[in-house]
Structure 1
Amino acid sequence: MQITAANTFTTPILIQPGNSFDITVSGTFVATVVLQRSKDGSTNWLDVASFTAPAEQTGSAGSAWYFRIGVKTGGYTSGTAVVDLFD
């Protein structure tokens, strides 16, 4: 997904306990890309990690969580961040 504005996130994905997921952040951008998690996938999003430069990372879930990645309000300045979150 290409992000060119604040308050833009991927569709949440459910990661089951013990499963891993991959995060990719690329592009040329001035923004803070945030990985978030939520128990219900629609409210109470908690920041897990943040990225201000291209990165690749693998994460895991100790219990069932919904995860999403994107840029919060106030976190975007310029450019295009390309983010992927997949299990």
Structure 2
Amino acid sequence: MDITAQNTFTPAVFIQAGDEFDISISGTFVATVFVQRSKDGITWADVDSYTAPAEKTGRAGSGWHFRVGVKIGGYTSGTVTVNLYV
């Protein structure tokens, strides 16, 4: 998914307890990209943030919804390509 504006996130993905997931952040951009998680899919908490391309693997300690994107005020320019793989 390409992000070219603030307040843009991937669709939420539910990760079961103990399951791994991969996050890919690429592109040429000036932005802060956040990984967020939620129990209910409505209230989100920041887990990590990135200002440069990155490849990460995570593991859910319990069942959580995850999403990746740019919050309001976090985008300046360029294209951020983000993917969340289960």
- TM-score relative to the length of structure 1: 0.97
**1:3 alignment counterpart:** 3
Query: Deviations 1:18-64 (Å, cap 9, x if unpaired)?
Result: 000000000000000000000011x2100000010000000010100
Query: Which runs of 4 or more aligned residues in structure 1 lie more than 2 Å from their structure 2 counterparts after TM superposition?
Result: none
Q: Give matches, 1:49-64, under 5 Å.
A: 49-64=48-63
Structure 1, unmatched stretches of 5+, are none
Q: Give matches, 1:1-80, under 5 Å.
A: 1-41=1-41, 43-80=42-79
Instruction: For residue 83 of structure 1, report the CA deviation from its aligned partner.
Output: 0.2
Percent identical pairs in the alignment equals: 66
- TM-score relative to the length of structure 2: 0.99
Alignment root-mean-square deviation, CA = 0.4
Opposite residue 4 of structure 2, the aligned amino acid is T
Distance 1:17 1:51 in 2: 24
